[in-house]
Structure 1
Amino acid sequence: MVRGDGFWGLQAALDRRDLGPVAGVDEAGRGACAGPLVVAACVLRPGDAARLPELTDSKLLTALARDRVYDRVLARAVDYSIVVIGADEVDALGIHVTNIEGMRRAVQGLRQTPGYVLTDGFRVPGLPAPSVPVTKGDRAVACIAAASVLAKVTRDRIMAGLHEEHPHYGFDVHKGYSTAEHTAALAKHGPSKVHRWSYTNVATVAAALGHTPPHQVMLTVAALESVSKEMGAAVSATDTSVGKNERFAVESRGGAQTS
């Protein structure tokens, strides 16, 4: 695994060795307990890091700065792909499996197969090109940072839309992460269809309120133990299954969305 510190020139080194085009891949929303997981892949022109002076890990930017960088990346990127995966799929497969699969989909969504893929944090098997995981890659590699911004801005805008549908949770503020305000709203109103019912905090509240998941759920060991304790008896994941939530089962490629 490549260590992030001091490797801002990694993409340039690969380009100089004719190993490009180099695609960076990152996600947004892995730790949230509501809303979709969004994964992006991005290919920048060689040397474009110098033309994107604000480019860095999306979490280090203000919302206004992220929007500026988002627009500049879309204008300058050679190629990009954004995959939006609904909470129902996260619940059915588990977050890690979904994250890996989302990264594969994002790379496959590029118009041209990259010569090399750089992923943020961990190895992704099954990619169509050689790949290297980069620790803190969104702070170290320009194309990963660009993918981070694309994923984060896309997800934040989706969460703002979900706030209009479910205003009592405050999705526009916390974006589905487990803040104190979100936890209080979850306990009061119970989980919605866009919550991740496989997550321990959501599963525990649902069990306490007697709510049934609206789709298939694969509980983690921690969630299963918590729910069992809450109900005072052993439980198993529900067999209830519904179709994919089409609001989130969307991929975008080169700026055009396809369902």
Structure 2
Amino acid sequence: MEKSAKPDRLKFERRLWSEGYNHIVGLDEVGRGCLAGPVVAAGVIFEPGTDIPEIRDSKVVTEQERILLSKKIKNKAVFWSIKEGSIQEIKEFNILWASLQTMQKCVDEMHPNPEYLLVDGNRYINSLIPYTCLVKGDVRSMSIAAASILAKVYRDELMKELHNEYPEYGWDTNVGYPTPIHKKALKEFGYTKYHRTTFNLGTQKKRS
């Protein structure tokens, strides 16, 4: 059986560059499915014609590769931005709203002004800037994949720092996702100020 062809991760960028869009922002977020910690989004603009083949979905590269790629992306990008959607925003509204608004925070900070947005997923907020939503965009677009790497490296490092404060929950390895260790600690110790209390945490007990 023949191996399937590798996805063309510049298909959308090349088309947009050929149409005269020079400032294309790839947008992605990480942490939507976590029980603790903020949601984190990133946006990246590359020069037209940029091709970095090793950039791919952050979930399929090793942690060390992600760290090295994160540095390379920051060096090669025209502009990049990383933003947090706070626990309070997640609680006050909802995780979808917080995720989309956090991506928009990245767009608001971009310079030069974005001309087109490539957004991971199937929804985005109303925007005056033209955009395309791409399901599994981190597999289909180099710009989105680059944003996913920046966001994941940033968020993983943040959760490892928070692990030092509350080591029982295993955030140094699960980075806030609902693993057995995390859920067991929630039942035993209760939830912390970093937990998303609007999610099903499996406990009503607040940690003292």
Could you say what the CA RMSD is over the residues aligned between the two structures, in angstroms? 1.6
Aligned residues: 202
For the structure 1 residues 176 and 66, does the alpha-carbon distance in structure 2 shift closer, same or farther, using more than 3 Å as the test?
same
- Corresponding residue of 1:34: 36
Which secondary structure state, in structure 2, belongs to the residue aligned with residue 165 of structure 1? coil
Q: 1:82 matched to which residue of 2? A: 82
* Structure 1 partner of 2:3: none
Does 1:166 find its partner at 2:166?
A: yes
Are 1:16 and 2:18 counterparts? yes
Where 2:56 maps in the other structure, the secondary structure is coil
Question: Which has the higher mean CA deviation after the structures are superposed, 119-128 or 132-141?
Answer: 119-128
In structure 2, distance between residues paired with 1:18 and 1:116 = 10
Q: Quote how far apart the aligned CAs of 1:13 are.
A: 1.2
Question: How far, CA to CA, are the matches of 2:112 and 2:182 in structure 1?
Answer: 41
Contact 1:28-1:152 at 8 Å conserved across structures: yes
Contact 1:54-1:65 within 8 A present in 2 as well: no
Contact 1:40 1:150 (8 Å CA) reproduced: yes
In the alignment, which residue of structure 2 is the partner of 1:45?
47
Return the letter of the residue paired with 2:122. F
Of residues 200, 203, 206 in structure 2, which corresponds to 1:205?
Answer: 203
Q: Distance in 2 between matches of 1:162 and 1:95?
A: 20
Deviation at 1:112, TM superposition (A): 2.0
Cα displacement (A) at 1:102 = 1.0
The Cα offsets for residues 96-151 of structure 1, whole Å up to 9 and x where unpaired, read as 11111111111111122211100001231233410000121101111101100010
- Cα pair 1:34 1:177 within 8 Å, conserved: yes
Whether the 8 Å CA contact 1:6–1:140 is kept in 2: the answer is yes
1:90 to partner: Cα distance:
0.8
- Describe the superposition over 1:14-57 as per-residue Cα deviations: whole angstroms up to 9, x where unpaired: 011102311010001011010110011110122222xx232001
Hey, what does 2:101 align to over in structure 1? Answer: 101
Taking structure 1 as the reference length, the TM-score comes to 0.74
Residues in 2 aligned to 1:46 and 1:63: alpha-carbon distance in whole angstroms: 28
Q: Does 1:55 align with 2:55?
A: yes
Q: Could you tell me which runs of 5 or more consecutive residues in structure 1 were left unpaired when the two chains were aligned.
A: 215-259
The aligned counterpart of 1:241 is none
Residues of 1 paired with 2:141 and 2:177: CA distance? 26
Q: CA deviation at 1:6?
A: 4.8
State the one-letter code of the partner of 1:30: R
Rg larger in 1 or in 2? 1
Q: CA separation in 2, counterparts of 1:86 and 1:21? A: 28
Task: Using structure 2 for the length normalisation, give the TM-score.
Answer: 0.92
Q: Distance in 2 between matches of 1:125 and 1:36?
A: 19
Q: Deviations over 1:171-191 (max 9, x none)?
A: 001000001111111111111
SS at match of 1:198: coil
Structure 1 position 7, deviation (Å):
5.8
Matched-pair contact (CA < 8 Å) for 1:104–1:127: no
**Counterpart Cα distance in 2 of 1:175 and 1:74:** 23
1:1-259 correspondence to structure 2 within 5 Å: 6=8, 8-49=10-51, 52-200=52-200, 202=201, 204-206=202-204, 209=205, 211=206
CA contact (8 A) 1:37 1:99 kept: yes
Instruction: Give % identity.
Output: 34
Report how far residue 8 of structure 1 moved.
Answer: 3.2
Q: d(CA) in 2 for partners of 1:154 and 1:14?
A: 28
